[in-house]
Structure 1
Amino acid sequence: MAQILTITLNPTVDLSTSAASVTPGPKLRCTTPEADPGGGGINVSRAIRFLGGESTAFTAVGGETGALLLRLLAEERVRFTAFSVSGGDTRQSMAITDQSTGEQYRFVMPGPYWNHDMVDESLNAIAAAATVDGIVVLSGSQPPGVPIDYTARLSRRLSAHGIQLFVDTSGAPLHELVKHPANPYVLRMDDVEAEDLAGRALPTRTDTADFAQALVERGVAENVIVARGSDGSTLANATGRWHASRAIDPADVVSAVGAGDSFVGAFSMALTRGDTFQQALCFGTAAASAAVLTAGTQLCSAQDVARLLPGCVLVEV
């Protein structure tokens, strides 16, 4: 089985709590907070672990918060490789649920600043940690100071060694990757990001598939996945276009946090065990669906994924 290395340049210690109501002004008395290791790649590795798989989480860490992050990873038995940064402490993020409405408020900090040397050192360290014929998953935001073409640099470095790169990014780095294609193995985005890139609405699955296929034809990525929220996910590559969906009762949705990371973890895990892209798309969709059934910063559970997977509907688009 091919090995998975997840990359988190801007990890976080995720704190989740709740209050009777969230209103400005008075002190808000919160429930006892829960702390989880967080950040895109870390959550991908955690999801893989929850599903019974293995990966290594390559994560940048700094200061006391970084030390706490590593302790939390160890407690969850997630294998990791730490990359020390000197630009400040690892960030913290907070999710607060308003008990009166069920609405969730998420506060995300920027993270430590990276200088030029740290950027170059990280590229070298990732290339050294990755295994030939393995999969590297780059997921999550970039810290301040990291150039927007970082993903392209990493893609070129890894492809020269036969290593497949799965990218799940957003904002300026995503726009840069589309503007100057580096052709990673897989590129994933959500529907809001896709519509922003397309400059138009993508109301139907066909619209989404057309957009994803156009990116493939331009060499932006070999495989493009667009998550369409509760409708599931669409995948396009040189051989076809598919959509996987699983109906979830809106009343059962507890938190949208972690759905994307759960998808990426399950999808990557499925590919390394030899599943087809269609099978991986369904497995990822079931994991994303399972994640929305959990509270706070929790991810998918193997039991929920196993229960939801048979109901996944795969169609050609």
Structure 2
Amino acid sequence: MKTFDIVTLTVSPALDKSAHFSGLVPEQKMRCETPIFDAGGGGVNVSKAISKLGGTSLAVLTTGGATGEMLKNILKRDSILFEVIETESWTRENFVAVDNYTNSQYRFVFPAPAVTVFEKEKISSIIQGLKSNFLVISGGLSEGLAVDFYKQIAETAKKSNSKLIVDTTGEPLKKVLETGVYLIKPNVGELAKLIGVERLEMEEVKDAAKQIIESGGAEMVVVSLGPQGAVLVTKDTADFVAAPNVAKKSTVGAGDSMVGGMVWALSQNKSLKEVIRWGVACGSAATMNEGTQLFKLEEAQRLFEWLKDK
């Protein structure tokens, strides 16, 4: 069995493409500038964030077709350690376009390609053959995967004593909580759905998170509050961190950067106070960059220094 400190799983990665154009005009050709390509998808972005912080992880992901080959080449270029499950379907592409006239950002996200029964079994087999201190599942499910697929992965992780960190939404998240995980990162709307209410006021967030913990769904809940920051809740504590005021250019990858910052901090045995602040620092720093880029290390470090005594 191969052993790693951190393993990330992405069943629906994407080849991210971003470009600028000048003026959104219906039924006209809009000439775009030369595109920038990045490897994307929840767990892939988490591995990239960990790498930026000087950590290492193994990114497990599906890839297929010419777009999948491009994605693998980008990971090699960025020195990200990875293991792939080859798929019959091509890896999807996502597109981000920024209008130079208005600085408005348009995000085009395409459906995840189907996964065959054989490919599903291969994903499960690879995870079963790995031992890690932290296993990060991030992103949505592909067509062909049942809503309890992440729950099955969680059960495998428990057998190898991995600490499971999950960043997904909807029924897959509800199902995985039946097994119990180490950490989840819902936003306020997602947290409301998890406890069966239509909405939550800010003062209700802490108690809602504790409901998840007391039911055995997770040991820690980090609730993303968007531009207001985040709160980390455990059985006995709650730590709110306000997001720093930064010049935002793009929110693409901000949530994944936040997860990456927290997982890296956990792997370095940092205190929970530092864990949530590294998460907020990395997530906020990611919004300072255009397109599908994540954060710059020096910006994340600067924001963490500002947040660490807050």
Q: TM-score if structure 2 supplies the norm length?
A: 0.94
Structure 1, unmatched stretches of 5+, are: none
Please state how far the C-alpha of 1:24 moved relative to its aligned partner.
2.3
1:172 matches 2:171: yes
2:145 aligns to what SS in structure 1?
A: coil
The CA deviation at 1:115 is: 2.5
Once residues 4 and 238 of structure 2 are traced to their aligned partners in structure 1, the CA distance between those partners, rounded to angstroms, is 25
Distance 1:311 1:230 in 2: 16
> Aligned partners of 2:207 and 2:22: how far apart in 1?
45
Q: Offset of 1:314 from its aligned partner?
A: 7.3
Deviation at 1:149, TM superposition (A): 0.6
1:100 is aligned to 101
Match runs of 1:170-249 below 5 Å: 170-178=169-177, 181-198=178-195, 199-204=197-202, 206-249=203-246
Structure 1 residue 233 displacement after superposition: 1.0
Q: What SS class does the counterpart of residue 223 from structure 1 fall into? A: strand
Which residue of the partner structure matches residue 54 of structure 2?
52
- Deviation >4 Å, runs of 4+: none
Q: What secondary structure sits across from 1:242 in the alignment?
A: strand
| Conserved? CA contact 2:85–2:119, under 8 Å | no
Q: Which runs of 5+ in 2 are unaligned?
A: none
Query: 2:230 touches 2:243 (CA, 8 Å); kept in 1?
Result: no
Structure-2 residue corresponding to 1:109: 110
CA contact (8 A) 1:45 1:265 kept: yes
Task: Give how far 1:164 is off.
Answer: 1.0
Amino acid at match of 1:109: F
2:189/2:200 contact within 8 Å kept: no
Deviation at 1:38, TM superposition (A): 0.4
- Is 2:68 the counterpart of 1:70? no
Contact 2:95/2:109, CA 8 A, preserved across alignment: yes
User: Which position in structure 2 is the counterpart of 1:118?
Assistant: 119
Partner of 2:288: 293
Query: What corresponds to 1:157 in structure 2?
Result: 156
Deviates more, 1:2-11 or 1:68-77: 2-11
Cross-structure match for 2:18: 16
1:36, distance to aligned residue in structure 2 (A): 0.3
CA drift at 1:105: 1.1
How far apart, in 2, do the equivalents of 1:158 and 1:260 lie? Answer: 23
CA deviations 1:249-291 (Å, max 9, x no partner) are 4xx1110111111111110000111112221011111111111
Q: Match of 2:146?
A: 147
Partner residue, 2:90: 89
Query: Percent of pairs identical after alignment?
Result: 31
Structure 1 SS opposite 2:185: strand
* Number of the residue aligned with 1:284: 279
Pairwise CA distance, 1:111: 2.5
Matched residues, number: 307
Q: Hey, what's the Cα distance between the residues in 1 that align with 2:152 and 2:261?
A: 26
Task: Give the AA of the match of 2:110.
Answer: M
Q: Answer yes or no: is the 8 Å Cα contact 1:94–1:106 preserved in 2.
A: yes
2:150 counterpart letter in structure 1: T
Whole-angstrom distance in 2 between the partners of 1:153 and 1:278: 31
Corresponding letter in the other structure for 2:65: G
Q: Are the counterparts in 2 of residues 242 and 314 from structure 1 also a CA contact under 8 Å?
A: no
Three-state SS of the structure 2 residue aligned to 1:14 is strand
Per the alignment, residue 135 of structure 2 pairs with 136
Letter in 1 for 2:96: A
Aligned partners of 1:153, 1:314: CA distance in 2, in Å?
Answer: 40
Any idea what SS the aligned residue of 2:59 has?
strand
